[in-house]
Amino acid sequence: MDNVISFTPAELVGFITAIGGAIVTIGAVTTLIFKLVNRVKAPEIKQNERISALETRLKSIEDQNKLFTQYFINDDKRFKAIERSNKITQSALLALLKHSINGNDTESLKKAEKNLEEFLIEK
């Protein structure tokens, strides 16, 4: 209990220098660890950025694809309507041609007229 702890100023300076050296060493090691971790994570970060850019581009392409798909659906409807119209017109022309050739084919003329009339009414 009566032990007295004493040290010289040189020992005190040495102790403070050792603590400062330890702090600097720990800071340098910590910096190196952070640099190493960042260097290891750098490819992953670049990859994540590329993936995000590709996902954005893919979404844009998907939106464009939806738009073009709708255009194709609308065009298909128009083409089917044109095909139906051409079919009715051609059957009416055929009936006129038959009547013109033999003069007695009034049934096909009436049928063609009825079909053409129904088509025009529906349109």
Residue 69 lies inside a defined structural domain of this protein: yes
pTM: 0.50
Residue 3 lies inside a defined structural domain of this protein: no
Residue 1 lies inside a defined structural domain of this protein: no
Count of domains for the chain? 1
With a pLDDT cut of 90, the percent of the chain lying above it is: 51
Burial of 115 (0-12, 13-18, 19+ CB in 10 A): middle
Question: What CA–CA distance (Å, rounded) separates 114 from 92?
Answer: 10
Closest by CA position to 84, among listed 47, 119, 32, 46? 119
What helix, strand, coil percent values describe the chain, rounded to 5? 90, 0, 10
Asked if the model's pLDDT at residue 29 lies above 90, the reply is yes
Domain with 20, as residue range(s), is 9-122
Residue 19 lies inside a defined structural domain of this protein: yes
Residue 63 lies inside a defined structural domain of this protein: yes
Residue 73 lies inside a defined structural domain of this protein: yes
With a pLDDT cut of 70, the percent of the chain lying above it is: 97
